Amino acid sequence: MAEKKIVVVAIGGNSLIKDKKHQTVEDQYDAAGETTRHIADMIEDGWDVAIGHGNGPQVGFILRRSEIAHKVAGMHELSLDVCGADSQGAIGYALQQNLQNELYRRGIHKPVATIITQVLVDKSDPAFINPSKPIGSFMEEAEAKQRAKKEDLPGQMDIEDLFGNNPSAAKFN
């Protein structure tokens, strides 16, 4: 009996955004379709595939929409964990739907499933002091302190925007 071939494919959240003009959910769905055609090739060649994906820009978009809806229409804001789950569901759906459709087109009847995960993050992790991938909106110091208190964030965050400005520097001690 031949040994089973298993592979884990890692897809970065940034890879679903082709460029600045192609960031919509529909654009990301199309990019996921391109990716899943290659994964379908692997499945057709006898591989069992597990897919993991990032979600950095997607979480940022969801958080930003939440912030805008709150400021403009007074709607509730989403917590970061809910933004993460939302992005996992959306990306998982795009990958699963595209992969399932591609497999059916090829006459391969194999189930495809999406799993939403949770991660426990240690709030005293020193990486919070100098985050490498900020998400969401930049905010004034007072708003940043208020958010940090509400969300029980640790220590100090000192993030610059893309232009080298530092509008959200705040110490939370």
In this prediction, residue 150 carries a pLDDT of 75
What whole-number distance in Å separates Cα of residue 8 and Cα of residue 92?
15
By mean pLDDT, which of 64-68, 106-110, 146-150 is the weakest? 146-150
Say which residue, 128 or 48, is predicted with more confidence.
48
Determine the average pLDDT of the residues in 118-143. 77
pLDDT at position 162 is 44
- What does the pLDDT look like over 26-62, one tens digit per residue? 999 999 999 999 999 999 999 999 999 999 899 989 9
165, two tokens: 């400005």
pLDDT in tens, 138-169: 667 787 777 777 776 655 555 554 445 544 44
Q: How confident is the model at residue 113 (pLDDT cuts 50, 70, 90)?
A: very high
In this predicted structure, what is the pLDDT of residue 156? 53
What distances in angstroms separate CA 101 from CA 4, 6, 33, 79, 123, one per listed residue?
A: 24, 21, 9, 33, 41
Judged against a pLDDT cut of 90, whether residue 2 lies above it is answered with no
Domains of the chain: 1-119 (3.40.1160.10), 121-173 (no CATH)
